[in-house]
Structure 1
Amino acid sequence: MNHDHTHPHHHGPALSGAHDHVFLGDNHTRNEKRTWLVIAITATMMVVEIVCGSLFGSMALTADGWHMSTHAAAMLIAAFAYLYARRNAENPRFSFGTGKVGDLAAFGSATVLALIALLIGWESLMRLQNPVSINFTDAIIVASVGLAVNLVCALLLHEDHSHHSHGHVHGAHDHNLRAAYLHVLADALTSVLAIAALAFGRLLGWSFLDPVIGIVGAVVIARWSWTLMRDTGAVLVDYNAAEDDLGPEIRRIVEAEGAQVQDLHLWQLGPGHRAAIVSVAAEEMRPVAYYREKLSAVPGLSHLTVEVEPSHA
């Protein structure tokens, strides 16, 4: 039995040496810088809101400030994950590099998002039972400023797949960036819903609308958090989606050569990077390099181990 490892085509930063394990996403550094910028904007806004809220006696301002702080804390998880993954990209203790650190961070962040949804839902239910008097003008101004800030941040964190060299590859998403983006979006959504509720409340005197719309927001945010948990959890436990076409593609290439795929393992290494272990059985034994070369055309396959055994047919 002969087996060998290779990186058919590696999209990470080039290192000296033929075999590195850097599986960071294409835009790792750019995304890291943008996340820190968004944290700076959010933290500044948060301090301004809490200070002004205290000075003007506006509960809406203060509450929004503290609400922003939870999202800022969650975005710190993303920022530190980028930093850690980059600093340890060549640490040999990570057998397959640090590409999945972002998924681990995003899973943690999704948990925070779920808690925020629960808190918004709970607070809204409490307000339905005990309505709070709302200073509408104050609150609308706060929500509008908050929304403007969040939209700027959302633009900064939006993942543009047109710039992906292999954006079509299954698993090319940077879940860490997506987690930070969803936190900004959740904040923006609560601002939009608050503006709508306050506007109607002011025009029609429907103060019950604020908590009712709060519950709607909580449900939407909970749904986002669930999809993020599901997608990042799948990466962490090496689960391959049913619609993933990498496995069938590898089988097709090997079996077109008259060989049999005895065993195939596929997993995600980082955004846009996949690994495979392919065990090939063939009557006519070909060298490992032959199959490796054939499989080098598979997009997004960044680490490949091939073993060839004689078939006992």
Structure 2
Amino acid sequence: MASHEHDRAAEQGERSARKLGLVAAINLVGFIIELAGGLMFGSVALVGDALHMLFDALAYVIAYGATVIARRSNPGGRWSYGLHRIEPFAAFLNGVLLVPMVGYLVWESYQRYLSPVDIDAGMTLVLATGGLVINLASVYVLQGGEMSLNERGAFYHLLGDAGASIAVIVSMLVVMYTDFLIADPLTAVLIAMLIIWSAIILLRESGAIFFQGSPVDVDEVRASIEDLDGVETIEDLHIWALSSQISVASIYVEDATSSLEERDSLVADIHDLLTSEFDITHATVEVVAESHEHTLT
């Protein structure tokens, strides 16, 4: 069973790495195009969208590196579970990296509010539309199937990017038809708010793993195990996650079995339940009879 779960995790890691690498390349190209356009045509909103793409691309590069390292690290020795903890660490780092970008956008938007500048709304509109196409292409690459924590982080980033591109498009239409130049810095502030929201989601999910929050409902797991034939009580139950794809449990059960074969069967049933119903791939189950003879597996 352990070998099968490691193979599945390796396959998911390889798929995740390919997706994140491709999305990073797409967004780096989009960043260069939008940054050049924003500087040439005077739009701070487009510059903001470009920076959003840059930091997202850097986030994907970090996530890609973390996924590759975790995939290539073999459990054993000092790292008994491999290096899968790199995944939530990279996701947390990505969330932190979003903060300086927000500060820059808010500051630049304030300067543009004080001193509005002329904007080539037509060309900015074209580039913003291209940015939206890039975001949608990246979403298409990531969507489908079960996503890892870093893939979900990238997905949230891309949704924010798509929203930011739409906001830039709308603001440029406003500038074109009303000459309301302040729409540009106001849009940049809106993009900054989207970035903050992305950071909160990413920090919350990665933080839950770092602080050993349970990825499943512990009471539901307890009730399901207690419903198994042969289980008297659960004396101790702990569930936590190493990464978004590897959950771990430690269970201390008092049983009512009458033979070693029945006890072994109960342990196997508990493992099967944890894997099939709750996707807990690593579990230590200790079964204790009333005579306090121990079985640990």
TM-score > 0.5, shorter chain as reference: yes
Tell whether the 8 Å contact from 1:247 to 1:266 is kept in structure 2 after alignment: no
Tell whether the 8 Å contact from 2:253 to 2:286 is kept in structure 1 after alignment: yes
**TM-superposed deviation, 1:175:** 0.8
Structure 2 residue aligned with 1:214: 188
**2:28 matches 1:43:** yes
Structure 2 residue aligned with 1:13: 7
Q: For residues 312 and 38 of structure 1, do their structure 2 counterparts lie closer, same or farther at Cα, with a shift above 3 Å needed? A: same
Q: For residues 52 and 196 of structure 1, do their structure 2 counterparts lie closer, same or farther at Cα, with a shift above 3 Å needed? A: closer
Tell whether the 8 Å contact from 1:140 to 1:198 is kept in structure 2 after alignment: yes
**TM-superposed deviation, 1:177:** 0.9
Tell whether the 8 Å contact from 2:215 to 2:240 is kept in structure 1 after alignment: no
Tell whether the 8 Å contact from 1:97 to 1:269 is kept in structure 2 after alignment: no
Structure 1 residue aligned with 2:213: 239
1:297 counterpart letter in structure 2 = L
1:218 counterpart letter in structure 2 = A
- Which whole-Å CA distance do the structure 2 matches of 1:224 and 1:301 have between them? 28
Listed one character per residue, the Cα deviations across residues 217-257 of structure 1 (whole Å, up to 9, x for unaligned) are 32232122212211111112211268456533454245x52
Unpaired segments ≥5 residues, structure 1: 1-5, 15-22, 165-172
**2:41 matches 1:58:** yes
Structure 1 residue aligned with 2:295: none
Tell whether the 8 Å contact from 1:285 to 1:309 is kept in structure 2 after alignment: no
Structure 2 residue aligned with 1:293: 268
1:125 counterpart letter in structure 2 = Y
1:117 counterpart letter in structure 2 = V
- Which whole-Å CA distance do the structure 1 matches of 2:38 and 2:182 have between them? 23
Q: For residues 238 and 32 of structure 1, do their structure 2 counterparts lie closer, same or farther at Cα, with a shift above 3 Å needed? A: same
- Which whole-Å CA distance do the structure 1 matches of 2:113 and 2:61 have between them? 33
Query: Per the alignment, in what secondary structure is the counterpart of residue 206 of structure 1?
Result: coil
Structure 2 residue aligned with 1:307: 286
**TM-superposed deviation, 1:261:** 0.8
1:74 counterpart letter in structure 2 = A
**TM-superposed deviation, 1:34:** 1.7
Q: Which has the higher contact order (CA 8 A, sep 6+)?
A: 1
Query: Per the alignment, in what secondary structure is the counterpart of residue 6 of structure 2?
Result: coil
Query: Per the alignment, in what secondary structure is the counterpart of residue 304 of structure 1?
Result: strand
- Which whole-Å CA distance do the structure 1 matches of 2:41 and 2:268 have between them? 67
**TM-superposed deviation, 1:40:** 1.9
Within 5 Å, give how 1:106-125 maps onto structure 2.
106-125=91-110
**TM-superposed deviation, 1:156:** 0.8
- Scaled by the length of structure 1, the TM-score of the pair is 0.78
Query: Per the alignment, in what secondary structure is the counterpart of residue 97 of structure 1?
Result: coil
Structure 1 residue aligned with 2:71: 86
Tell whether the 8 Å contact from 1:283 to 1:312 is kept in structure 2 after alignment: no
1:309 counterpart letter in structure 2 = V
Unpaired segments ≥5 residues, structure 2: 293-297
Identity %: 24
Q: For residues 91 and 135 of structure 1, do their structure 2 counterparts lie closer, same or farther at Cα, with a shift above 3 Å needed? A: farther
Listed one character per residue, the Cα deviations across residues 252-286 of structure 1 (whole Å, up to 9, x for unaligned) are 245x5242111111112333432211112246565
Q: For residues 89 and 59 of structure 1, do their structure 2 counterparts lie closer, same or farther at Cα, with a shift above 3 Å needed? A: farther
Query: Per the alignment, in what secondary structure is the counterpart of residue 13 of structure 1?
Result: helix
- Scaled by the length of structure 2, the TM-score of the pair is 0.82
Structure 2 residue aligned with 1:265: 238
Structure 2 residue aligned with 1:274: 247
**TM-superposed deviation, 1:73:** 1.5
Query: Per the alignment, in what secondary structure is the counterpart of residue 98 of structure 1?
Result: coil
**TM-superposed deviation, 1:120:** 2.6
The structure whose residues are more often helix, as a share, is 2
Listed one character per residue, the Cα deviations across residues 151-177 of structure 1 (whole Å, up to 9, x for unaligned) are 11121122x23xx5xxxxxxxx51111
Moved more, 109-118 or 142-151: 109-118
Aligned residue pair count: 284
**2:132 matches 1:147:** yes
- Which whole-Å CA distance do the structure 2 matches of 1:179 and 1:89 have between them? 25
